Amino acid sequence: MPLVARVFVTRQLVGPALERLATAGYQVDLWEAREPPPRRDLVARARQADALLCTLADPIDAAFLDACPHLRVISSCAVGTDNVDLEAARARGIPVGNTPGVLTDATADLAFALLLAAARRLPQTSAAVLNGEWGPWEPAGFLGHDVAGATLGIVGAGRIGTAVAQRAQGFGMEVLTTTSRGGTPLPSLLERSDFVSLHVPLTPQTRGLIGAEQLARMQPTAILVNTARGPVVDTRALIDALHAGRIAGAALDVTDPEPLPVDHPLLHAPNVLVTPHIGSATPRTRARMAELAVDNVLAGLAGEPLPHPVAP
């Protein structure tokens, strides 16, 4: 009697997608804890698995793959796959899948929400109310930045960047874009934009893309928004720019490191808003991501091409 294929799932997912694996006759090994499995547990559980359904919190490198010789497919419940050594997986004949497309609107919504919140200083003004600092109305009190008619620079005009640009049209914003294939050159975009929103994948070319030199090009009234990946921005350079007033503020859903320790200096820099990587955090979006991730697992175990493959 043939052995039943085993799927190691590194986190509880939203919705009923995992039930499809059991219905298909596969054994599901689910990591039940809220925190991601430590490296030792990740390897120990995956070593027994034929398929891995992981998240961005799980580092999948060459050493991990060498320790898990039975793996036939890796499915990441995310768009980004910077946690997976794609070349190492390809060299071992292991297809890797992700969940593209379904989180575009949710992430674009959050990016624009961060832009608006930072522009109108919502964290600071809300804190002022809670701290009893809401005094009589005054003309110069709690001044923020205009969004309507402002210039928005989008770095990386893929699915999410394009969706953010569509939202900006409703505010009458001038939109500048730069991509690896053209558009407005990055230096010019930084110099002309009132808001800069990052939407590039994390690659060797984009790591540290926004550093001290790029921040110095931005206007002192400009706000940086990052819903891409934390290491796209040089954290130390951003902290220095905020303290020096070289930019007006930053709104970040992703950071480097992630999660940030509560005593990290970025959290205590002026005019910074940080959310805990919630770009795709709506029930519909997370459930759909789970469905796509399971689609990849089922195809991989059946020896079929993945419906949502990632190219090395």
For tokens 């640009």, the residue is 165
Give the per-residue pLDDT at 179: 85
In 3D, which of 89, 59, 62, 63 has the Cα closest to residue 74? Answer: 89
pLDDT 10s digit of each residue in the chain, 312 long?
A: 347 899 999 999 999 999 999 999 999 999 999 999 999 999 999 999 999 999 999 999 999 999 999 999 999 999 989 999 999 999 999 999 999 999 999 999 999 999 999 999 999 999 999 999 999 999 999 999 999 999 999 999 999 999 999 999 999 999 999 988 889 999 999 999 999 999 999 999 999 999 999 999 999 999 999 999 999 999 999 999 999 999 999 999 999 999 999 999 999 999 999 999 999 999 999 999 999 999 999 999 999 999 999 986
DSSP codes, 193-242: -SEEEE-----TTTTT-B-HHHHHHS-TT-EEEE-S-GGGB-HHHHHHHH
Question: Among the options 6, 159, 192, 258, which is catalytic?
Answer: 258
Annotation says 236 is catalytic:
no
Question: Among the options 229, 246, 288, 308, which is catalytic?
Answer: 229
Do the Cβ atoms of 257 and 230 come closer than 8 Å? Answer: yes
Give the per-residue pLDDT at 110: 98
How close are the terminal C-alpha atoms of the chain, in Å?
36
For tokens 């505010």, the residue is 171
Annotation says 92 is catalytic:
no
Question: Among the options 277, 286, 288, 308, which is catalytic?
Answer: 277
Find the length of the chain: 312
Report residue 292 as tokens: 């796509």
Coil, strand or helix at 150: coil
Q: Residue 161: which residues within 8 A CB-CB, separation 6 or more?
A: 154, 155, 177, 197, 199
pTM of the model: 0.92
Do the Cβ atoms of 28 and 304 come closer than 8 Å? Answer: no
Annotation says 70 is catalytic:
no
User: What domains are there in the chain, each with its CATH number?
Assistant: 6-102+283-301 (3.40.50.720), 104-274 (3.40.50.720)
Q: Helix 104-119 crosses helix 283-301 at what angle (to 10 degrees)?
A: 150
Instruction: Strand 6-9: give its sheet, edge to edge.
Output: 27-30, 6-9, 51-54, 73-76, 96-97
Give per-residue burial for 72-95: e unless 16+ CB within 10 Å, then b. Answer: bbbbbbbbbbbbbbbebbeeeebb
Do the Cβ atoms of 280 and 228 come closer than 8 Å? Answer: no
The alpha carbon of 203 is separated from its chain's Cα centroid by a whole number of angstroms, namely 13
State the Cα–Cα distance between residues 208 and 171, nearest whole angstrom: 30
Do the Cβ atoms of 58 and 82 come closer than 8 Å? Answer: no
